[in-house]
Amino acid sequence: MRVWPGHPYPLGATWDGSGVNFALFSQHADTVEVCLFDSPEATKETERIALPQKTFNVWHASFPDLKPGQLYGYRVHGPYEPQHGHRFNPHKLLLDPYARVIGRSMKWDDSLFGYKVGDEKQDFSFDDRDSAAFAPLAMVHDNAFTWGDDKHLDTPWERTIVYELHVKGFTRLMPGVPEKERGTYAGLASAPAIEYLTKLGITAVELLPVHFHADERFLVDQGRVNYWGYNTLGFFAPDPRYSSEPHLEDVVNEFKSMVRTLHSAGIEIILDVVYNHTCEGSHLGPTLSLRGIDNRSYYNLSPEDPRYYMDFTGCGNTPDLRQPRMLQLVMDSLRYWVQEMHVDGFRFDLAATLARSVRDVDQLGVFFNAIHQDPVLSQVKLIAEPWDVGPGGYMVGQFPVIWTEWNGRYRDCVRKFWKGDGGTVNELATRLSGSSDLYQDDGRRPSASINFVTCHDGFTLHDLVSYNEKHNEANGEGNRDGANDNNSWNCGAEGPTDDKAINEIRERQKRNFLATLLVSQGVPMILAGDEIGHSGMGNNNLYSQDNELSWLNWDGVNVGQASNLSSSPTRSASEGAPGTATPSVGEGNPDPSGGNKQKLLDFTRRLIEIVKEQPVLNRRHFFRGQPIRGGFLKDIYWLEPSGQEMSDEAWNAGFVRCIGMGLLGKFGQVDSQGRPEEGDSLIILLNAHHEPIDFTLPHGPRMPAKLDRLFDTSDGNIEIVPHKPKVPYKLQGRSMVLFRFKTVEKGSNSK
């Protein structure tokens, strides 16, 4: 085997057409060896070669005789001194943190731990068993791919509608998708899936983690998996479990083909990424990659006792982004997914952790500074989950300019309002109009608010209106996991019921939530399946449910022309949790919405059409609450049921549960070529009270003689119905209505 000096950059295993260059950073190592494997079944390496060169703490060498497809791992020699933060153990085969392709997944075994599991000295003991037979392997990859004219879509934030989905769960049961492709990257790019997404009208898919991840040992021991994937091991490699390709070297190209196909359909790809912790866990976790490569250089260790890790996520460790090489790893990973894989943006899980110094959240931390100055990453979509579980970790509204945020305060307020809680209309008005209290003072726009009512973490929309309490028994943790405070209301019965009145209220409430979400200023995010009434049967923490609780059930839904509603995809016996009672396809939970899936889907599609048709629902700037250019109507105004503007007394009255919002259709916004973006003016009425209310609409000589009602959530009617403004509108209990009109003339007085 010929070994040349090679180069310290780029990091990872790089095929240059004439050989493979290996480069691995480890500041405190004594020796680094690359181990070559002949097959995924091999229990030990066939070659072990020390990297002879060390440049700026990067160990490197070039191998002119190696080619793409080569399987490899590392062994790193150095001190094993947990009390000083060092955990080197050359008996442990380590995954390259820059691996582009996973050549073999891991299999749990005690030999994967750097210490003797069960020893009374815990991690102060030393394990000398070889982990090569059980450790994951990396594969050398050739990045060549024909992208054609593919490019980033750069959909403006104010025109973006996000759809959060799981790659497997979205198409695992989707009719019309070839059996081989269901639940895969290819399935998401299949004709039925693309047709469904385009007809729905969303502009971006936000994929739950697709980075290669490990399933926690306790889950595997119970016959379960980490379905969501928030347990990353490989920050550059797409997870092969979502591939339809039998050959692992083809996984990357399948992912790229998916991106290219989605782009051609006008859909952006946003990745949910997890850089706040790794799957190596606490000081008692396995040694799989970074821990064994150079623990002190990659992880945030306790200043008082570097045996332990700082943990702001509850997952055992925190990567130390103050360390230049750890920061480089994250930045290189992000740029790789943008430049090489063509994704359009990222949602950062528990993003407050990324801004931590030793303990505190630092808004001017090195990670934010690095992102802001980066000519690539500063131009893509950046979404923060703006909290973690550490002290001072709730950071909603406090992220820097260019960042958007999951607006947890929007979710909580909207849920409380439609649940019927008093004292919410004041905050509701702020949330509907873009949450200026959170995002205006630092130069951001309404689009900084990613509005959502539900997401993967918590109740689905159907369950939000069907359960008062969580029902997570299937997770095997005694119903202790998952949030207890859900601001949910079951409408009169816990879970499925045959009561027609209760089911009608539930359907109405689902329409209320979706309509509120989509007419609010900011960027709406819809949880996949909410538009067809998917239920997790009351489980608000489906992280380990790789079964029909999580997979979308398309029975009763016209997915598209390629669909075959009479055929139900089969379920592999290896999927889901053995021994766990879950509904079978077409049996336990075919349609918890009582046959209303298609109606809810049609209603959602129409809502999205309205949002795209009306520029006032896509404002780039916050409202001013003033008339525009001498007009008589303010750009936004708030109405009592009497038709008068909301008084201070009404704003502060805890019993008020009904409100109207008027939006001016001509507000001075222009498109990219300077042309006015003008549309209809809108009036939106919301009634969270259980009784109907006669709502007097604005009328007079300067108002139109007719309004068009675009929808009424009380019955889900999406036909355009004319209405005379002089006639009070009977706003049904727990309902929402949208009217459009054009102003007749300009005047000089506010109204």
User: What residues are annotated to the active site?
Assistant: 349, 385
Q: Which residues pair with 213 in a beta bridge?
A: 232
Instruction: Give the HSE-up count for residue 638: Cα atoms under 13 Å, Cβ half-sphere.
Output: 18
The token duo for 327 is: 């920061």
Cβ neighbours around 303 below 10 Å, total: 9
Handedness of CA 716, 717, 718, 721 (dihedral sign): negative
β-strand pairing of 162-165 with 137-139: unpaired
Distance CA 289, CA 294 (A): 9
State the residue for tokens 């003072």: 441
Distance CA 177, CA 171 (A): 7
Per-residue buried b or exposed e for 726-751, using 16+ beta carbons within 10 Å of the residue's own CB = eeebebbbbbbbbbbbebeeebeeeb
| Cis peptide upstream of residue 391 (ω within 30 degrees of 0) | no
The token duo for 301 is: 């260790």
Distance CA 697, CA 707 (A): 10
β-strand pairing of 101-104 with 137-139: antiparallel
Continuous segment of H or E residues that includes residue 55: strand 53-55
Distance CA 482, CA 582 (A): 18
Instruction: Give the HSE-up count for residue 27: Cα atoms under 13 Å, Cβ half-sphere.
Output: 10
Select from 562, 460, 532 the least CA-distant residue to 181: 562
Distance CA 149, CA 365 (A): 37
* Cα–Cα–Cα angle for 441, 447, 449, rounded to 5 degrees: 75
Q: Which residues pair with 87 in a beta bridge?
A: 80
The token duo for 89 is: 């153990």
β-strand pairing of 268-273 with 345-348: parallel
Question: 435 vs 283, 342, 409, 413, 428, CA distance in Å?
Answer: 41, 31, 9, 11, 9
Which residues neighbour 122 within 8 Å (Cβ) at sequence distance 6 or greater?
115, 284
DSSP helix/strand/coil, 313: coil
Handedness of CA 434, 440, 446, 447 (dihedral sign): negative
Phi then psi for residue 634, to 5 deg, are -70, 160
The token duo for 624 is: 């001013």
Distance CA 326, CA 309 (A): 15
**Rg of the chain over all Cα atoms, to the nearest angstrom:** 28
Distance CA 657, CA 640 (A): 10
Distance CA 273, CA 271 (A): 6
Number of residues assigned to the chain: 751
Which residues neighbour 473 within 8 Å (Cβ) at sequence distance 6 or greater?
479
Cβ neighbours around 84 below 10 Å, total: 14
Instruction: Give the HSE-up count for residue 380: Cα atoms under 13 Å, Cβ half-sphere.
Output: 28
* Cα–Cα–Cα angle for 623, 628, 630, rounded to 5 degrees: 155
What residue type is assigned to position 546 of the chain? D
What residue type is assigned to position 610 of the chain? I
